[in-house]
Structure 1
Amino acid sequence: MSYFIAPAITGFATGFSLILAIGAQNAFVLRQGLLRQHVFWLCLFCAASDAVLIAAGVLGFGALVEAWPGLPLIMALAGAGFLIVYGAMRFLAALKGTYAMEIAGKSRSLSTVIAIAAAFTWANPHVYLDTLGLIGAISTSFSDWAQRIAFGAGAMTASFVFFFSLGYGARLLAPIMQKSGAWRVLDVVIGLTMWAIAVGLITGVVSGSIG
């Protein structure tokens, strides 16, 4: 049994460390968790998306990026554009300061929430570098396929644990979020996060580190 436990633990630690950093996707899950709307489906979508990408990385499809060198550039520009727009929307919301719906716990429709989550997930070039690239590369350190699968399963488990903990753990902050000022601060922080990530993507494109 220990033959599989070590790779699984390595996969879990690797996956958790990669996803732990504050990012656009995490910030969106946190905000939705505070609203207590569509949390389960959002967390499931994000974790399942990670699982698909991790599986692809472990199975060796990381070569896709090498086969199509222009893909990272396209994803970087698309992701940066989306982050800039969404960040601006959060700044505008903070400026208006009308948070009656948020305080009442009302949210967008499920389809809209999933669509936004899909953009955060699949239009982010770093998710491909982390899953198809890094996790895929680390998995090759295990010569036995059974251990590679255990490693991938550990990394997938980390995504499920993280997203569901973030989504449902956010409600612990609910008492604080009963004032418009708290929502305004959150939106400003999210807006800054979005723009910081967008700047990082654009800088990467300019410097040539992406693509």
Structure 2
Amino acid sequence: MAKKAAQIIEQQVQFWMRKEAAQKGVPVSNSTRPIITISREFGAKGAALAEELGRRLEFKVWDKDLLELISKNIGSNKEFIKSLDESRRGLLEDTIFGFIHHRETNLSYLLFLIKAVRALEKFGSNIIVGRGANYICKIPDTFHIRVVCPLNKRIQNYARDYQITKKEASEFILRKDADRQHFSKYNFNQDSGNASDYDLILNSSTFSLSEMAEIAVQAYEMKTGTKVAEMAQQEL
């Protein structure tokens, strides 16, 4: 059954990648290029970096799409799967709200997450945002990035961008950070803030988005031995 589930996910991943290639008007690459995982503090521009790297490397970025892929396999509502994703739901909360049966779905989510990430890693040319992907990946050449930013800077930016008070921004950001830290601890027994788990840590208060992407591409090339210019030629 587990093997069948893995095969189904691989087929779906291939479908998504063919669809992405068709939308971009490029052929599906037959070469396996190491993927990138991006862990991020909330409001540190990790998702924006993923999109920029996806554009430069012509990799597919898996963020919300990963939730959709998993929800299709579990057969659950996408919004419910989103509630499990990087959240703090635990036994106490489940008991209080009478959602004990959802713990089975939580386990299914984790199992399908692992299968999906491993499939994406196998096919290469992907960028995975969050979801503890760096703890799931097994291929040595996979490149792991973490994006950070001082809390006061994140609060200032979030309050400005969403026109809320700094107090509201602070409470929201701290809660989101705690959710993500709990997700890694609860599911993988890992501290997402451990610097040694990453190949590269970028501070978005020091570098612009373009500069972070440039640094990341150079570091990716050095670790994997893959040259971005050569990657582009292989697609021709």
Provide TM-score, normalisation by structure 2. 0.22
Q: Which has a greater percent of strand?
A: 2
Provide TM-score, normalisation by structure 1. 0.24
